[in-house]
Structure 1
Amino acid sequence: MQDRTYTADAEPGDTVTVAGWVHEIRDLGGIAFLILRDTTGKIQVKFEKEEMDDDLVETGLGVHRESVIVVTGDVEEEPRAPTGVEVTPASVEVLAEADPQLPLDPSGKVDAELSTRLDNRTLDLRKEEVKAIFEIRAEILRSVREAFRSLGCTEINTPKIVATGTEGGTELFPITYFGREAFMNQSPQLFKQLMVGSGLERVFEIGPIFRAEEHNTPRHLNEATSIDFESAFADHTEAMDACEEVVRAAYEGVAENCQKELEALDLTDEFEVPPEEFPRLTYEEAIERINATGELDEQLVWGDDLPTEGEKALGEDVGSHYFITDWPAEIKPFYIKDHDDDEQLSTGFDMMHPRMELVSGGQREHRYDHLVEGFEQQGLDPEAFEYYTKMFKYGMPPHAGWGLGCERLVMTMLGLPNIREGVLFPRDRQRLSP
């Protein structure tokens, strides 16, 4: 609509055409008000019944909530109106009538279960606080792209249909690919490593990943968005430096550009950009601190993975974003390089929010013989990954990188109770539609 004015831009004295959804109608007898909502906010439309054409009044006040309408009229100052102005309509056109029986209330006056909201996501996003989550998510992605470019990265897009899984044959979704078995990719890990051996050297990708895990928790998804980084001629410490910079950039972008959205979520006062340096704890220090909290029934020992309860206890103890470094080599993937002076320790790291893990990364094994040996130690067939391993024969530089879960970043940044709140159309064990 070329002549359309957004509600936020309507000024007293203007004659405007505004378009949007019927948010609410209040009929007070001789006078009635229709609240019209668009992407920028709301505006009040005033109907003085005795002074207006009957057809105009009937059209404006007979329409159901959430119908799409166009209103043309004069804007006047009105301090009692929600936004300080109101429109006296000269015409009202109904573009799309809404069913009077809505599956949920977009005004938010009546709560709906999360499952109902996800079943009706289009209606759900008409609520200001829900829309705010996805405006913030968009800003996070814009900010991290900008941060990657400042780090000298090239954005890449890698295949999501693959012949073998990144971490072997578990947790894979099989598909039929022209009569052959293929899989949905778990991670761009192997492809981004191949890229740092090319002329690109430093790359990033933001794209979907697929995990056939049978989790059914508030923090797991079967399709997620991964924010990935990989750099040639870098070690694990430099990768952690880049991780800090990118995560801080996401927070800084939201703080600078999303004040309206933070206000809608009632987060204005408590939103903080993380400090410049995240604490770095070794795995050994982490299990010692977890054990010292006394929160676990059994003490952790070297080689244990950290249980959810342990992560929570440590997160409360640290109280900020932090890294866990120097994990046991035996519990990290085959492509993670061990320390040169201690093969029992890997260069793998995790970056944690106090609530949960956000990032997994490390320096990669760039030496062909050691890489093949790592495959064999984890029970994987190196020949199945020849497209990957053979490139390590042709001059693969030392390199490091990480993957960050976008949805977990959104969830922890905004304090969302369920990761599905930060996904438009989540995919989990139960949900395949919409």
Structure 2
Amino acid sequence: MDDRTYTADAEPGDTVTVAGWVHEVRDLGGIAFLILRDTTGKIQVKFEKDEMADELVETGLNVQRESVISVTGDVEEEPRAPTGVEITPDSVDVVSEADPELPLDPSGKVDAELSTRLDNRTLDLRKDETKAIFEIRAEVLRAVREQFREIGCTEINTPKIVATGTEGGTELFPITYFGREAFMNQSPQLFKQLMVGSGLERVFEIGPIFRAEEHNTPRHLNEATSIDFESAFADHEDAMDACESVVRAAYEAVEANCQDQLEALDLADEFEAPADSFPRLTYEEAIERINATGELDEPLVWGDDLPTEGEHALGQDVGEHYFITDWPSEIKPFYIMDKDDDVSTGFDMMHPTMELVSGGQREHRYDQLVAGFEQQGLDPEAFDYYTRMFKYGMPPHAGWGLGGERLVMTMLGLGNIREAVLFPRDRQRLSP
């Protein structure tokens, strides 16, 4: 529709054609109102029954909610209208009639369970607050890409069908690939390391990852979006600096460019980008602070992974984004470089409510890398495409992976990570 005007652009004195969905119809007797909604907002259409053709009035008032219509008419100022203007229609065309039995109420006046909303995501996204989440998500990804380019990264795309898993045989989705067994990739980890040895040196990727997690919780997915960074001639400190800059850029972009969306989510007054550098706690300091809270039945000792309740206790104690560094070597992946026999260069970046990032300096020395495979019970030969490249001059390098949905979830205080995914994939959900 070349002559279409968005509702937000309709000005008094204009003659316009607007198109969108029927949000609401209110019949007050001699006068009636239809609220039309498009991607920019809503506008009131006024029907004065005694002054208009019966057919025009009948079309406007009998159309079902959520039908797609086109309205042509004059725009007039009306302070009592929701947006201060209204249209007196010359014509109303029903483009696509909606079924009167809607599976959920897009106006939001009647709540629906999350499962119902996900089953009918197209309708769910017609609600301002749901749409706002994905407009913010889009802004986050835009800002993240821009920040990666600001720090000299090249965007790459790595395979999602692989012969071996990034972290061994656990949590893998097997598939049949022309008669051979293959897997959906858990992470671009090995490929992005190969790229920093190629001469690109500093790379990033934003793409899907697949994990056959048995967890069925509000913060786990089986298909997620991973935001990945890897840089040659960098150590774990450099990687943490890059991580903080990317997360901060995402928050600053949302604060600057998404006020309408934050308003729709009732977050405009409280949302703000991180003001200070993220604290960096060692793993040893972290377990000491968790133990000091008294929230766990048994105190943590060196070598324990942090339980969810421990993360929550520490997050409440710290109260902002923070890093945990110097993790025990035994609980970090084979590709993480060690500082010594017990301590690795691995780090996690945390929101007060959950882990967002895992990273570290990588082992770039061939013999030590192969030894790391063997220590974790993995066959180096199965990863020959990866390990042999380390024979040909691999620079020191470091990087990390950030969960895109977790970033949006924690940024907006969403109760379930599925709220930040258009069509989630978890243990129960494979459609739509």
Which TM-score applies when normalising by structure 1?
A: 0.99
Please list, as runs of the form range in 1=range in 2, the aligned pairs for 1:302-381 lying within 5 A after superposition: 302-339=302-339, 342-381=340-379
Task: Tell me how far apart the structure 2 counterparts of residues 399 and 331 of structure 1 sit (CA, whole Å).
Answer: 20
Q: Could you tell me whether the CA contact under 8 Å between 1:244 and 1:276 is conserved in 2? A: no
Match of 1:419 in 2: 417
Task: Tell me how far apart the structure 1 counterparts of residues 187 and 268 of structure 2 sit (CA, whole Å).
Answer: 35
Partner SS for 2:341 = strand
Please list, as runs of the form range in 1=range in 2, the aligned pairs for 1:13-32 lying within 5 A after superposition: 13-32=13-32
Which runs of 5 or more residues in structure 2 are unaligned?
none
- 1:379: Cα distance to partner? 0.1
Please list, as runs of the form range in 1=range in 2, the aligned pairs for 1:277-316 lying within 5 A after superposition: 277-316=277-316
Task: Tell me how far apart the structure 2 counterparts of residues 401 and 194 of structure 1 sit (CA, whole Å).
Answer: 12
Task: Tell me how far apart the structure 2 counterparts of residues 355 and 65 of structure 1 sit (CA, whole Å).
Answer: 40
Partner SS for 1:338 = coil
Task: Tell me how far apart the structure 2 counterparts of residues 383 and 274 of structure 1 sit (CA, whole Å).
Answer: 45
Please list, as runs of the form range in 1=range in 2, the aligned pairs for 1:83-232 lying within 5 A after superposition: 83-232=83-232
Partner SS for 1:256 = helix
- 1:287: Cα distance to partner? 0.2
Please list, as runs of the form range in 1=range in 2, the aligned pairs for 1:385-404 lying within 5 A after superposition: 385-404=383-402
Match of 2:429 in 1: 431
Partner SS for 1:158 = coil
Task: Tell me how far apart the structure 2 counterparts of residues 199 and 323 of structure 1 sit (CA, whole Å).
Answer: 29
Partner SS for 2:342 = strand
Task: Tell me how far apart the structure 2 counterparts of residues 384 and 213 of structure 1 sit (CA, whole Å).
Answer: 23
Deviations 1:180-216 (A, max 9, x none): 0000000000000000001100000000000001100
Task: Tell me how far apart the structure 2 counterparts of residues 191 and 428 of structure 1 sit (CA, whole Å).
Answer: 25
Which TM-score applies when normalising by structure 2?
A: 1.00
Task: Tell me how far apart the structure 1 counterparts of residues 326 and 79 of structure 2 sit (CA, whole Å).
Answer: 62
Task: Tell me how far apart the structure 2 counterparts of residues 169 and 296 of structure 1 sit (CA, whole Å).
Answer: 31
- 1:297: Cα distance to partner? 0.4
- 1:285: Cα distance to partner? 0.2
- 1:275: Cα distance to partner? 2.5
Task: Tell me how far apart the structure 2 counterparts of residues 107 and 277 of structure 1 sit (CA, whole Å).
Answer: 41
Counterpart amino acid of residue 275 in structure 1:
A
Please list, as runs of the form range in 1=range in 2, the aligned pairs for 1:69-84 lying within 5 A after superposition: 69-84=69-84
Q: Could you tell me whether the CA contact under 8 Å between 1:205 and 1:229 is conserved in 2? A: yes
- 1:270: Cα distance to partner? 0.7
Match of 2:274 in 1: 274
Match of 2:59 in 1: 59
Task: Tell me how far apart the structure 1 counterparts of residues 142 and 374 of structure 2 sit (CA, whole Å).
Answer: 40
Counterpart amino acid of residue 189 in structure 1:
Q
Counterpart amino acid of residue 123 in structure 2:
L
Task: Tell me how far apart the structure 2 counterparts of residues 246 and 328 of structure 1 sit (CA, whole Å).
Answer: 26
4+ aligned runs moved over 6 Å, structure 1? none
Deviations 1:340-394 (A, max 9, x none): xx22100000000000000000000000000000000000000000000000000
- 1:276: Cα distance to partner? 3.6
Task: Tell me how far apart the structure 2 counterparts of residues 176 and 433 of structure 1 sit (CA, whole Å).
Answer: 21
Deviations 1:278-305 (A, max 9, x none): 0000000000000000000000000000
Partner SS for 1:346 = coil
Task: Tell me how far apart the structure 1 counterparts of residues 351 and 254 of structure 2 sit (CA, whole Å).
Answer: 17
Task: Tell me how far apart the structure 2 counterparts of residues 286 and 252 of structure 1 sit (CA, whole Å).
Answer: 28
Task: Tell me how far apart the structure 1 counterparts of residues 427 and 170 of structure 2 sit (CA, whole Å).
Answer: 16
Q: Could you tell me whether the CA contact under 8 Å between 1:348 and 1:363 is conserved in 2? A: yes
Which runs of 5 or more residues in structure 1 are unaligned?
none
Percent sequence identity over matched residues?
A: 88
Task: Tell me how far apart the structure 2 counterparts of residues 155 and 62 of structure 1 sit (CA, whole Å).
Answer: 52
- 1:35: Cα distance to partner? 0.1
Partner SS for 1:36 = strand
Q: Could you tell me whether the CA contact under 8 Å between 1:248 and 1:276 is conserved in 2? A: no
Task: Tell me how far apart the structure 1 counterparts of residues 341 and 281 of structure 2 sit (CA, whole Å).
Answer: 19
Counterpart amino acid of residue 360 in structure 2:
G
Task: Tell me how far apart the structure 2 counterparts of residues 229 and 276 of structure 1 sit (CA, whole Å).
Answer: 22
Q: Could you tell me whether the CA contact under 8 Å between 1:18 and 1:70 is conserved in 2? A: yes
Counterpart amino acid of residue 370 in structure 1:
Q
1:264 aligns with 2:264: yes
Q: Could you tell me whether the CA contact under 8 Å between 1:66 and 1:98 is conserved in 2? A: yes
- 1:272: Cα distance to partner? 1.2
What RMSD, in angstroms, separates the aligned Cα atoms of the two structures? Answer: 0.4
Counterpart amino acid of residue 235 in structure 1:
D
Counterpart amino acid of residue 412 in structure 1:
T
Task: Tell me how far apart the structure 2 counterparts of residues 130 and 277 of structure 1 sit (CA, whole Å).
Answer: 31
Task: Tell me how far apart the structure 2 counterparts of residues 100 and 115 of structure 1 sit (CA, whole Å).
Answer: 21
Task: Tell me how far apart the structure 2 counterparts of residues 70 and 343 of structure 1 sit (CA, whole Å).
Answer: 70
Counterpart amino acid of residue 250 in structure 1:
A
Q: Could you tell me whether the CA contact under 8 Å between 1:73 and 1:91 is conserved in 2? A: yes
Q: Could you tell me whether the CA contact under 8 Å between 1:336 and 1:362 is conserved in 2? A: yes
Partner SS for 1:266 = coil
